């Protein structure tokens, strides 16, 4: 299905599939005489919530992204994210604001498998990108969000020898920032730090967690649980979530940092967890998605961990790591599963 927002006539649109009907419902909600729309959070760090967002703030967010990427009226974009969440809704709003031609495709692991023409813009989750590598050359501007981009996926992207005109970015944001407020380029020139958009101010709180003031999209100063390192006032490097920090024998461990290190050595999805332990308080374990193999044990033993206590006390293999509906790792469910089976 193609929606041309440059010549939009909703009366002539035919929404056939369940996903297309959801897009149609959102358009109805958008054009309804109200200043807000409802958005659902993913629930990756707690119970999913529904809250209302001002349409004007969503437009401001769309303008920031479209301007940064240089999108023009009539450019073609692809929607392949659920419209229940802010990520999918914002793709529609960007198309509305910039008068793009929006291709509507059912969210799936490989949403571009039938894509045969070049498009100017698309947003995907890391899992979708992982399954769409053979079509990335058809996307001029790709943003990846919803979860951190693994080291193994970064390496796969770098090895593809894409054209310099193919730009790929990792996003930083949350529902409260109306999708993202910062981007980090992965291709063609990989960057270590995220760069905040213009008029977005970042700082640290007393926990060294990121504070965000982006008045164009949210009137409040947002206090995150993300531990970061700030550089030059506008750039930051993500270290991990404070609620995921593992305290093992008095040592604080950032699981996301260790996961990034392990993913440089093995292709599997991995998660570090702290399981209750009488002597250590929390015992550091490594959960690996996939079949147990001696080769994986050898590769992990060769990883140059900075500290001895960064080495997992136990390695557990699991068929499938639980994920939220939009593809994020569900650490809460994984912890419950591992604790129950332990």
Burial class for 308, CB neighbours closer than 10 Å (0-12, 13-18, 19+): exposed
pLDDT, residue 264, reads: 87
What is the C-alpha separation between 21 and 190, in angstroms, rounded?
A: 38
Instruction: Using pLDDT thresholds of 50, 70 and 90, give the confidence band for residue 46.
Output: low
Confidence (pLDDT) at 148: 82
Q: Which carries the bigger pLDDT value, residue 211 or residue 340?
A: 211
Q: What is the pLDDT of residue 47?
A: 62
* Confidence at residue 43, expressed as pLDDT on a 0 to 100 scale: 57
Q: Which DSSP string do the residues of 256-302 spell out, in sequence order?
A: HHHHHHHTTT-SS-EEEEEEEETTTEEEEEEEEES---HHHHHHHHT
Stated length of the chain: 342
Has residue 44 got a pLDDT over 80? no
Maximum separation of any 2 CA atoms in the chain, in Å? 67
The alpha-carbon radius of gyration of the chain (Å, integer) is: 21
DSSP assignment string, 14-43: ---SHHHHHHHHHHHHHHSS-SEEEEE---
d(CA 209, CA 341): 33
Mind listing the domains of the chain with CATH numbers? 2-200+230-236 (3.40.50.12780), 245-341 (3.30.300.30)
Specify the pLDDT at position 168. Answer: 97
Distance of CA 49 to the CA centre of its chain: 18
CA gap 149, 184 in Å, rounded: 11
Query: CA–CA separation, 170 vs 148, rounded Å?
Result: 8
pLDDT digits (tens, 9 = 90+) for 4-17: 999 888 778 889 99
CA neighbor of 86 nearest in space, from 110, 121, 50, 119: 50
pTM for the structure as a whole:
0.80
């Amino acid at each position: 299905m193609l929606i041309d927002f440059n010549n939009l006539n909703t009366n002539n649109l035919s929404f056939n599939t369940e996903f297309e009907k959801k897009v149609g419902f959102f358009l109805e909600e958008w054009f309804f005489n109200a200043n807000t729309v409802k958005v659902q959070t993913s629930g990756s760090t707690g119970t999913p919530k529904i809250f209302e967002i001002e349409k004007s703030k969503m437009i401001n967010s769309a303008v920031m992204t479209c301007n940064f990427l240089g999108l023009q009226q009539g450019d073609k974009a692809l929607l392949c994210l659920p419209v229940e969440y802010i990520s999918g809704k914002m793709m529609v709003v960007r198309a509305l604001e910039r008068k793009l031609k929006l291709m509507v495709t059912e969210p799936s692991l490989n949403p571009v498998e039938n894509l045969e023409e070049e498009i100017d813009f698309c947003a995907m989750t890391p899992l979708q990108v992982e399954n769409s590598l053979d079509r990335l050359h058809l996307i001029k501007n790709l943003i990846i969000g919803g979860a951190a981009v693994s080291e193994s996926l970064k390496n796969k992207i770098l090895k593809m020898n894409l054209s310099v005109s193919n730009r790929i970015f990792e996003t930083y944001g949350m529902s409260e920032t109306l999708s993202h407020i910062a981007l980090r380029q992965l291709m063609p020139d990989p960057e270590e730090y995220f760069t905040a958009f213009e008029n977005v101010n970042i700082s640290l709180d007393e926990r060294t967690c990121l504070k965000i003031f982006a008045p164009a999209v949210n009137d409040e100063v947002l206090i995150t649980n993300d531990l970061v390192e700030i550089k030059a006032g506008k750039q930051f490097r993500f270290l991990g979530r404070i609620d995921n920090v593992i305290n093992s024998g008095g040592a604080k461990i950032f699981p996301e940092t260790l996961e990034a290190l392990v993913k440089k050595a093995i292709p599997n999805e991995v998660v570090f967890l702290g399981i209750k332990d009488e002597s250590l308080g929390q015992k550091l374990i490594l959960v690996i998605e996939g079949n147990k193999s001696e080769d994986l044990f050898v590769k992990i033993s060769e990883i140059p961990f900075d500290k001895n206590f960064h080495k997992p006390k136990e390695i557990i293999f699991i068929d499938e790591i639980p994920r939220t509906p939009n593809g994020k790792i569900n650490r809460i469910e994984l912890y419950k599963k591992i604790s129950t089976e332990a």
